[in-house]
Structure 1
Amino acid sequence: MQWYMKVLRQYADFTGRARRTEFWMFVLFNAIAIIILTILDNLLGLSSSSMGGGSIVVTSGVLTGIYQLAVLVPSLAVGARRLHDTGKSGWWQLLALIPIVGAIILIVFWATDGHPAPNQYGVNPKQDAAMPYQPGQPYVA
């Protein structure tokens, strides 16, 4: 839960790096919240169903929609910070616009371990804070 709250506290912080734990714990708690809110929407009669392509039923609810709008910016921010940890720009998240293939590539990027040394986005979040780092200087172990 601390990782979820950490992401929410860094609401629109697209700078720095995020560990895999921070990213995936946010994704987990986000998914749990969406499931719970979808159930509440259905129980309270706040959801509407529509037929999608290929007769897939798409359900959208008021509470779920409000929650998803509220966490949109933090989700993008933690995704960008996670990509920064692997040495990639946050703009790589635009791959999500490519159906299926884009999502698979992003999952691989997000699951990849970060660079052990500082990169252009900051110090390794796993690294001890006692080791100072000056941007633009090479990492010396």
Structure 2
Amino acid sequence: MALKLIGLLLGTDFLSFLFGLVIFVPSISYATRRLHDVGKSGWWQLILIVPVIGLIVLVVFLAQDSEKGENAYGVSPKYP
């Protein structure tokens, strides 16, 4: 929001675009790690292609509690 305001004052949207580009890869890696914690593949992020239902399903997956112990992707950092 602040970058959008600064961009409007400067007459450009470059700062918002640059910020979005910078946080794109870390957000994908964070969501992949979170999906691995609940025992799902990182490819489940592609469900966002489905307009509304995909977002709801992904949010539910990301909000679930981690699996205890070890799953196919390794040991959960929450339950070592």
Q: Same fold (TM over 0.5)?
A: yes
TM (norm. structure 2) is: 0.91
Which structure is richer in relative contact order (CA contacts within 8 A, separation 6 or more)?
A: 1
Pairs within 5 Å for 1:1-141:
35-46=1-12, 61-128=13-80
Q: TM-score, normalised by structure 1?
A: 0.54
Give, in angstroms, the shift of residue 118 of structure 1: 1.2
Counterpart residue identity of residue 78, structure 1: Y
Looking at structure 2, the residues matched to 86 and 36 of structure 1 have their Cα atoms a distance apart, in angstroms, of 34
Greater fraction of residues in helix: 2
- Partners of 2:4 and 2:53 lie apart in 1 by 27
Q: Which aligned runs of 4 or more in structure 1 are off by greater than 3 angstroms?
A: none
In the alignment, residue 44 of structure 1 is paired with which amino acid? L
Q: Distance in 2 between matches of 1:103 and 1:96?
A: 5
Secondary structure in 2 matching 1:71 = helix
Which runs of no fewer than 5 residues in structure 2 stay unpaired? none
Q: Can you list the C-alpha shifts for 1:6-34, whole angstroms capped at 9, x where unaligned?
A: xxxxxxxxxxxxxxxxxxxxxxxxxxxxx
Q: Deviations over 1:66-115 (max 9, x none)?
A: 11111111111111111001100000000011101101100000011110
Structure 2 letter corresponding to 1:38: K
Greater radius of gyration (CA): 1
Shift of 1:45: 1.6
